[in-house]
Amino acid sequence: MNKKVRVQDLGLKDYKETWDYQEQLFQETLDLKIRNRREEMNLETPNHFLFVEHPHVYTLGKSGDISNLLVDEKVLAAKGATFYKINRGGDITYHGPGQIVGYPILDLDNFFTDIHKYLRLLEEMVILTLAEYGIKSERSPGETGVWLDVGTPFARKICAMGVRASRWVTMHGFALNVNANLGYFDMMIPCGIKGKAVTSLNVELGKKEVDLDEVKQKLLKHFQVLFEAEIIEKTEV
């Protein structure tokens, strides 16, 4: 099993360009798995972890409800935002500057073949990272992602998640609000869950800005331990 993971920081990058790049890496891994099976080979499949920030964009998962987007595309355009229907699970979500988006493209055959465990470990990675900033976060029963003050009237989401998997290869991932402009969340019902607020790490800490690179390093540190992974390369594109 290959537990080496290549990490790339794509910086600020268009959503569709990044989605295409994800699809390319995802398909390369799938093709190799199919070839291994067909030709009875045992070539190592790669694992990737992409960090990226996106310009303002709303994405709707395959099981999502378009009515959870509360404005039309003219309003989005006026706000400098775009919209895509995509092939991950989950409902509607927002990405924008100040938010760390992570796309692990892993062959879970290299780690464990359990998609629920995969999601729980991604959540744990975020929970442990936030704990380093003195923020107590947790899971909310039946709601994927990471939350604060679960079970109270003040429950609020700080990290959204939605993944796709085929033949145990993953794509899409998580979006952690670090210095996010929370006003953009007002134009949708986040993840289709009514009456729940959204927050950002800088707001919780009472800071104007939190160092994004520092948060990324903490996320990677916990990812490495939880997945027993070896980071083999860190490249900026």
**Where in the sequence numbering do the catalytic residues fall?**
191
Q: How far apart are CA 9 and CA 52, in angstroms?
A: 6
Q: Name the one residue in this structure whose structure tokens are 């692990």.
A: 104
Q: How distant, in Å, are the alpha carbons of 26, 56, 90, 227 from that of 22?
A: 6, 19, 18, 20
Q: How far apart are CA 87 and CA 59, in angstroms?
A: 10
Q: How far apart are CA 6 and CA 49, in angstroms?
A: 6
- Pairing label, strands 82-85, 57-60: parallel
Cβ atoms of residues 122 and 128 within 8 Å: no
Q: How distant, in Å, are the alpha carbons of 63, 77, 122, 143, 172 from that of 162?
A: 11, 25, 11, 11, 6
Q: How much helix, strand and coil, in percent to the nearest 5, is found in the chain? A: 35, 30, 35
Q: What stretch of H or E contains 201?
A: helix 201-205
**Across the beta sheet with 92-95, what order do the strands follow?**
82-85, 57-60, 92-95
Number of H helices, E strands in the chain: 5, 12
